[in-house]
Amino acid sequence: MLDMNASAAEFEALTSRGREFLGTDYAILAGAMSWVSERHLVSAISNAGGFGVLACGAMPPELLEKEIEATKALTDKPFGVNLITMHPALEELIQVCVRQNVGHVVFAGGIPSAASIKAAKENGAKVIAFAPALVLAKRLVKSGVDALVIEGSEAGGHIGPVSLTVLAQEILPHIREVPVFVAGGLARGEAILGYLEMGAAGAQLGTLFAASKESIAHENFKKAFLKAAARDALPSMQIDERFPVIPVRGLVNEGTKRFMRHQAEVVQKFQEGTLDKTAAQLEIEHFWAGALRRAVIEGDVENGSVMAGQSVGMVTEILPVADILAALKAQAISALAARAARA
SS3 23: coil
- Say yes or no: 233 and 329 in one domain: no
- Say yes or no: 282 and 180 in one domain: no
| Residues above pLDDT 90, as percent of the chain | 92
Has residue 224 been placed in a domain? no
Rounded to whole angstroms, how far apart are CA atoms 305 and 38?
18
Q: What is the per-residue pLDDT for 343? A: 82
Has residue 86 been placed in a domain? yes
- Say yes or no: 148 and 241 in one domain: no
Distances (CA, A) of 304 to 37, 250, 263, 291, 293: 18, 10, 17, 4, 7
Q: Which residues contact 102 (CB under 8 A, 6 or more apart)?
A: 68, 80, 81, 125
pLDDT band at residue 3 under the 50/70/90 scheme: confident
Instruction: Convert the pLDDT of each residue in 66-104 to its tens digit.
Output: 999 999 999 999 999 999 999 999 999 999 999 999 999
One-letter amino acid for residue 329 of the chain: K
Has residue 205 been placed in a domain? yes
pLDDT band at residue 168 under the 50/70/90 scheme: very high
pLDDT band at residue 286 under the 50/70/90 scheme: confident
- Say yes or no: 171 and 90 in one domain: yes
Has residue 137 been placed in a domain? yes
Q: 171, 198 in Cβ contact below 8 A?
A: no
Is the pLDDT reported for residue 17 higher than 80?
Answer: yes
Has residue 82 been placed in a domain? yes
- Say yes or no: 145 and 265 in one domain: no
Give the closest residue to 293 by CA, choosing from 284, 303, 283, 281: 303
51 forms bridges with which residues in the sheet?
29
Has residue 222 been placed in a domain? no
Is the pLDDT reported for residue 1 higher than 60?
Answer: no
- Say yes or no: 175 and 247 in one domain: no
Task: Please give the average per-residue pLDDT across 304-319, as a whole number.
Answer: 97
Q: Which residues contact 275 (CB under 8 A, 6 or more apart)?
A: 266, 269, 283
Is the pLDDT reported for residue 171 higher than 60?
Answer: yes
Give the Cα-Cα-Cα angle 56, 57, 63 (nearest 5 degrees).
50
Q: What is the per-residue pLDDT for 2? A: 65
pTM of the model: 0.95
Has residue 236 been placed in a domain? yes
- Say yes or no: 165 and 81 in one domain: yes
Task: Please give the average per-residue pLDDT across 290-294, as a whole number.
Answer: 92
- Say yes or no: 46 and 94 in one domain: yes
Q: Domain containing 186 — which CATH number?
A: 3.20.20.70
Has residue 223 been placed in a domain? no
Task: Please give the average per-residue pLDDT across 30-42, as a whole number.
Answer: 97
- Say yes or no: 191 and 288 in one domain: no
Is the pLDDT reported for residue 289 higher than 90?
Answer: no
Range of the domain at 207: 4-217+315-342
Is the pLDDT reported for residue 178 higher than 90?
Answer: yes
Max Cα-Cα span within the chain: 74
Q: Which residues contact 295 (CB under 8 A, 6 or more apart)?
A: 218, 221, 301, 304, 305, 306, 307
Provide the domain count of the chain.
2
- Say yes or no: 195 and 91 in one domain: yes
Q: What is the per-residue pLDDT for 196? A: 98
- Say yes or no: 241 and 131 in one domain: no
